[in-house]
Amino acid sequence: MSQDYRQRLSLDEGWRFAFGHAADPTLDFAFGSDHQIFSKTGNSNGVLSPKFDDTAWRLLDLPHDWAVELPFDESAIFHHGFKPVGRGSPATTIG
């Protein structure tokens, strides 16, 4: 008799989200403006650090399309439904 050690876990719940600043990484939690981005080693800083405080970020469940919440913009590209294109930052803790 074999045992099945696999588990199916949903990662859809409990995500944090914040709008980013695609044009200026220094305003986007300084992501990409620093060379300390080795998150797997635990030596990262800023938004990739396990100690980063995201409690002020919005709590939501996936799937989520943040662009639908933005207002229409006649100057935006019609391929994007006349919605502004930007950058969003999702975050969660697993484990």
Angle (nearest 5°) at CA 76 between 19 and 70: 35
Give residue 84's pLDDT band: very low, low, confident or very high (50, 70, 90): confident
Instruction: Specify the pTM.
Output: 0.59
Q: Is 80 in a helix, a strand, or coil?
A: helix
- Exposure string (b/e) for 65-76, b if CB count within 10 Å is 16 or more? ebeeebeeeeeb
Domains of the chain are 12-95 (2.60.120.260)
Mean pLDDT of the chain: 76
Roughly how many angstroms between the first and final C-alpha of the chain, as a whole number?
A: 29
Please classify residue 57 by burial: count the beta carbons closer than 10 Å to its beta carbon, then call 0-12 exposed, 13-18 middle and 19+ buried.
middle
Structure tokens at 49: 């650090």
Structure tokens at 58: 């919005």
Residue 12, number of CB atoms within 10 A of its CB = 12
- For residue range 38-66, list pLDDT tens digits in order: 556 666 777 777 788 888 888 988 887 77
- For residue range 15-25, list pLDDT tens digits in order: 888 877 766 76
